[in-house]
Amino acid sequence: MKLAIPLLVAAVLVVILAIRALQDEPLPQTGPRESAPDTAIAMTPSEPSPQLPPPATDSDATEKTTNEEISDTDFLMLLREYGFEQLEANWREWAMSRGYPAMGVAGQYNLEQPYDQYDNETLKGLADNGDKWAQQILAKRISRTNPAEAIELYRKAAVRGSVYAMSEMANLYLRISDKRREVEFKSDELALEQVYAMRDAPVAPEVAGYAWTAVAEMAGTEPMFGNIASSQFSRKLSDEQKTEGCEIARSMYEEVTTQRESLGLGDFDRTPPPLVYSDPNASAGCSESNEPRLDLSGCRRMQMTREGQTNVIWLCADAPS
């Protein structure tokens, strides 16, 4: 996922992925509403929607919602009841806490510091002091001229809690492994030498990238939002390579968590985003359970079945008042 994609668009993408089977079915209208701009969600109900079952409480979540079936239309109506704008705002907050940088319409980062205006030397100074935003933004800048240093910066940002950095590192490894994209690195002799060295390393770059998608899952990313690269790696790797990648991922996760403990940061935050969509095809497949490694105990678990395929969605937002 590119830095230039605003988080609010990413939030919309998650909802679309969760209901992708409904592309030809528009949401039933309950009243007139203004058109939403391209870069924001502005869907708000103008009339009361049909009554749906209330969200389960913590005490009965497991018993009553484990196999809750909900139709695609009712699911869309439920999202409207919760409020798309509020869901998007919660998504933004959750994503930024995991290192996903939001950008405004003008293409500038919506962060406390103007990172997009800093030169590389300034970013490096901040990165050396443990600033995860500087680490991953600088890594993005130098990924084509010094991919080895970019990977190291992404690693440091990952230790600081950036699941986004893990995904970006996986994407960089994917580019390095693809000979058709070699032209991206040919403008710099050092970069090309590093690319060839990584291709000849004991661990192939595609295996290393696959491993980092698994580490992102172990750290508690939202499956569709943070691990889009998993399916790309799965098509490239043999079963033996996937097994190798999973073993490496477990070792890397232990290394990252150990470094976090030494910095007094503790484990990764398992708080879920407002919507969680589970798709085994978007998983690295390194865990026996297909469910996300998030604290879903307070979420409403729903199943939607269409054309023989069942998708699981957790609604973790606060119920509308």
Query: Is residue 301 domain-resident?
Result: yes
Contact 244, 207 (CB under 8 A): yes
Residues 92 and 143 placed together within one structural domain of the fold:
no
Contact 246, 286 (CB under 8 A): yes
Residues 179 and 210 placed together within one structural domain of the fold:
yes
pLDDT at residue 102 in the model: 78
Residues 256 and 274 placed together within one structural domain of the fold:
no
pTM: 0.78
Query: Is residue 44 domain-resident?
Result: no
- Cβ burial, residue 116 (10 Å; 0-12/13-18/19+): middle
Q: pLDDT digits over 131-172, tens only?
A: 999 999 999 999 999 999 999 999 999 999 999 999 999 999
Residues 220 and 166 placed together within one structural domain of the fold:
yes
pLDDT at residue 241 in the model: 94
pLDDT at residue 233 in the model: 81
Residues 258 and 275 placed together within one structural domain of the fold:
no
Query: Is residue 103 domain-resident?
Result: no
For the chain, how many structural domains are there in total? 2
pLDDT at residue 37 in the model: 30
Residues 224 and 306 placed together within one structural domain of the fold:
no
Q: pLDDT digits over 81-110, tens only?
A: 988 888 888 888 898 999 988 777 676 777
Residues 178 and 124 placed together within one structural domain of the fold:
yes
Query: Is residue 256 domain-resident?
Result: yes
For tokens 């009361």, what's the residue? Answer: 48
Query: Is residue 113 domain-resident?
Result: no
Residues 137 and 237 placed together within one structural domain of the fold:
yes
Query: Is residue 229 domain-resident?
Result: yes
Contact 185, 144 (CB under 8 A): yes
Query: Is residue 122 domain-resident?
Result: yes
Query: Is residue 137 domain-resident?
Result: yes
Residues 241 and 307 placed together within one structural domain of the fold:
no
Residues 157 and 215 placed together within one structural domain of the fold:
yes
Nearest Cα neighbor of 215 from 266, 264, 150, 284 is 284
Residues 257 and 299 placed together within one structural domain of the fold:
no
Sequence-distant (6+) residues with CB within 8 A of 168 are: 136, 139, 140, 154
Residues 179 and 159 placed together within one structural domain of the fold:
yes
pLDDT at residue 181 in the model: 87
**Positive or negative CA dihedral for 184, 188, 191, 192?**
positive
Residue 88's domain spans which residues?
Answer: 7-27+50-98+270-279+286-315
pLDDT at residue 14 in the model: 47
Residues of the chain under the 50 pLDDT cut? 1-10, 12-14, 17-65
